[in-house]
């Protein structure tokens, strides 16, 4: 290989490596597909029953936080004016106007959860500072529903022998009491304020959360009630409440219904902070329903969303910026150069004979659609029946173009027949045999017939086996999902493909199969071989 060609190949490789490293290190692209987080599609329905000429509906909207990301929000306010307003740490949606009686106010959004910390609570928790006490004074105050200064709270803390100076031990005692000694109900029997729940030692998730907050505030731990919903595949969700305690510089989730301290047992969507109702209505009666659906988000969707929001040049030039249909096409086309490289290696370095140059890789693309076992079986059926038809056709002594056209039509009819039989047998995967490259199959059958006549069965068998070997190897390359992701994300890797093809194109040495054919020359020289 000439130095100039070597320099060109080296420049191509260095360019590819440089672009890939820049995308990975500077732009944050993943070389291999990572497990994509679940995305949930959630809908909140508020059925309305009018009681006045004008109505005002206010309900909490979920917000971005450490454990969740909200996007794709859509509202159907049923002809009412709709506004989003802040209320403390929360967001509320307000609908004003006069809708028709019986309509539903709907709010839809998507949420992607983030892993919550699973660190255990520290054994020793520092005392609350005066600055923190002032900043979180509202999380230490007594309220009409969270009576942290009531007699029942003080009596219970004394009965449990809770030491307020040991905040870590106090927290564990309170949590253990609520989980083990306070009965969990549906929350529909009796008042659900903290004092009532502690007095009756029974309550729903809201009542037990209020009771936990009251006890925590009484021992000097800032705490608040959080409302949300468990993310489950059942489709319908119910409001559930838990507690967040401010400890060691951060909020720790505590579930008074059970579970370990410091993290929640299941995936949850946080709707709002506080123990207020989820929806408030004036001039109307309002219900509240929430439903959800899990959606698996692919790596392609994640990259496409990120590219659409980026101003960087390489992001704008990324294949992820193409329309979805174009992406589907290029995910497949970008694998063809790898198949061509496989063919070049087998033919130029190993010396494997095949029917045609790129026929094997096109067959590999077809096998990718059908699967390796079904694909090879169906390929064998089509080729055998096509070859038998070609043998019968020899007696007609047709010219080449009409003969190939006849054979092409026969191949299509054979494939159609296979599809019908497979469908009736319930072999639905076999129906994808229509993806087989018809023209390549036709030319393969023609060359098979000619090879049988000119080279004999032995050499023809070598051609068939070589074609199948290259096609199967190409299939394992093309069907690799991680490799597909890598090539689509970093198409500049084909600069390396071009460099390898340049080097292979100038190779004139022995092929691997020729070392076996001419082994006598290597062992004993020309004279001994003769």
Sign of CA dihedral 452, 456, 459, 465: positive
Mean pLDDT score of the chain: 82
- Whole-number Å distance between alpha carbons of 282 and 286: 9
Residue 101 scores a pLDDT above 80:
no
Residue 91, pLDDT > 90, answer: yes
401 or 427, higher pLDDT: 401
Query: Which domains does the chain possess?
Result: 38-114 (no CATH), 130-275 (3.10.620.30), 334-489 (no CATH)
- 138-178 pLDDT, tens digit each: 999 999 999 999 999 999 999 988 888 888 888 889 988 99
State pLDDT tens for residues 201-259: 999 999 999 999 999 999 999 999 999 998 887 667 888 999 999 887 788 888 888 87
Q: Residue 209: what pLDDT? A: 94
Q: What order do you get walking across the sheet with 223-230 strand by strand?
A: 250-254, 239-247, 223-230, 268-273
Q: Using pLDDT thresholds of 50, 70 and 90, give the confidence band for residue 296.
A: low
Per DSSP, 65 falls in state B
Band (410; pLDDT cuts 50, 70, 90) = confident
Query: 436 pLDDT band (50/70/90 cuts)?
Result: low
Query: DSSP secondary-structure letter at 520?
Result: H
pLDDT value of residue 207: 93
pLDDT digits (tens, 9 = 90+) for 478-515: 878 788 888 888 889 999 999 998 888 887 777 777 67
Please state, in angstroms and rounded to a whole number, the distance separating the CA atoms of residues 220 and 139: 10
Percent of the chain past pLDDT 70, that is, above it, reads: 88
Mean predicted confidence (pLDDT) in 86-91: 90
The percent of residues in the chain predicted with pLDDT above 90, rounded, is 19
Residue whose C-alpha is closest to residue 156's, from 109, 201, 191, 193: 201
Average pLDDT over residues 16-27: 86
- As a whole number of angstroms, the distance between CA 460 and CA 442 comes to 16
Rounded to whole angstroms, the Cα distance separating 295 from 208 reads 32
For residue 279, is pLDDT > 80? Answer: yes
**Whether residue 524 has pLDDT greater than 70:** no
Largest CA distance in the chain: 113
Q: Which two tokens stand for residue 519?
A: 């082994």
The whole-number pLDDT of residue 517 equals 66
Average pLDDT over residues 368-375: 73
Assess contact for 228 and 270: CB atoms under 8 A: yes
Q: Does pTM top 0.85 for this prediction?
A: no
The pLDDT of residue 198 is 93
* Predicted pLDDT of residue 241: 93
Q: Mean per-residue pLDDT for 282-290?
A: 88
End-to-end CA distance of the chain, in Å?
Answer: 32
Note the pLDDT of residue 55.
Answer: 86
Residue 495 token pair = 């600069």
- Given a cut of 80, is residue 79 above it in pLDDT? no
Interatomic CA distance for residues 517 and 530, integer angstroms:
14
- 60: which 2 tokens? 């909490």
Rounded to the nearest 5 degrees, what angle is found at the Cα of 262, between the Cα atoms of 259 and 264? 50
Q: Which pLDDT belongs to residue 464?
A: 84
């Amino acid at each position: 290989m000439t130095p100039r060609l070597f320099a060109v190949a080296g420049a191509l490789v260095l360019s590819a490596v440089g672009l890939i490293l820049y995308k990975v290190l500077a732009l944050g692209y993943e070389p291999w597909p990572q497990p994509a987080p679940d995305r949930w599609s959630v809908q909140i329905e508020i059925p309305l029953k009018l009681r006045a000429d004008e109505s005002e509906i206010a309900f909490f909207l979920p917000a971005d936080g450490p454990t969740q990301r909200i996007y794709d929000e859509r509202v159907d306010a049923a002809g009412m004016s709709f506004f989003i307003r802040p209320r403390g740490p929360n967001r509320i949606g307000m609908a004003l106007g006069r809708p028709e009686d019986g309509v539903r106010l709907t709010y839809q959004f998507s949420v992607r959860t983030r892993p919550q910390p699973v660190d255990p609570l520290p054994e020793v928790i520092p005392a609350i500072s005066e600055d923190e006490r002032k900043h979180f004074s509202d999380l230490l105050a007594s309220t009409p529903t969270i009576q942290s200064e009531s007699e029942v709270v003080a009596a219970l803390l004394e009965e449990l022998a809770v030491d307020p100076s040991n905040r870590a031990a106090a927290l564990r005692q309170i949590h253990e009491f609520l989980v083990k000694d306070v009965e969990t109900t549906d929350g529909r029997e009796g008042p659900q304020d903290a004092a009532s729940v502690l007095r009756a030692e029974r309550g729903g998730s809201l009542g037990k959360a209020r009771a936990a907050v009251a006890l925590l505030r009484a021992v000097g731990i800032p705490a608040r009630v959080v409302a949300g919903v468990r993310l489950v595949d059942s489709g319908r969700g119910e409001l559930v409440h838990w507690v967040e305690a401010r400890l060691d510089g951060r909020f720790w989730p505590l579930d008074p219904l059970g579970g370990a301290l410091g993290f929640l047992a299941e995936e949850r969507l946080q709707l709002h902070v506080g123990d207020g109702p989820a929806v408030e209505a004036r001039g109307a009666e309002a219900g509240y329903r929430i439903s959800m659906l899990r959606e698996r988000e692919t790596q392609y969707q994640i990259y496409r969303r990120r590219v659409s929001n980026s101003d960087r040049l390489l992001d704008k030039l990324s294949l992820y910026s193409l329309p979805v249909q174009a992406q589907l096409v290029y995910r497949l086309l970008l694998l063809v150069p790898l198949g061509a490289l496989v063919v070049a290696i087998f033919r130029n370095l190993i010396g494997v004979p095949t029917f045609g140059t790129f026929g094997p890789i096109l067959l590999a693309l077809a096998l990718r659609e059908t699967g390796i076992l079904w694909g090879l079986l169906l390929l064998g059926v089509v080729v055998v029946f096509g070859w038998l038809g070609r043998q019968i056709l020899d007696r007609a002594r047709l010219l080449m173009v009409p003969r190939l056209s006849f054979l092409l039509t026969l191949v299509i009819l054979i494939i159609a027949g296979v599809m019908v039989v497979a469908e009736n047998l319930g072999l639905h995967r076999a129906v994808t045999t229509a993806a087989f490259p018809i023209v390549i199959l036709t030319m393969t059958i023609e060359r098979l017939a000619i090879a049988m006549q000119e080279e004999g069965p032995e050499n023809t068998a070598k051609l068939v086996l070589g074609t199948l070997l290259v096609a199967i190897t190409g299939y394992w390359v093309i069907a690799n999902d991680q490799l597909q992701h890598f090539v689509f994300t970093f198409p500049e890797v084909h600069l390396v493909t071009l460099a390898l093809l340049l080097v292979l194109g100038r190779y004139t040495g022995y092929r691997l199969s020729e070392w076996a054919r001419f082994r006598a020359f290597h062992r004993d020289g020309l004279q001994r071989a003769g």
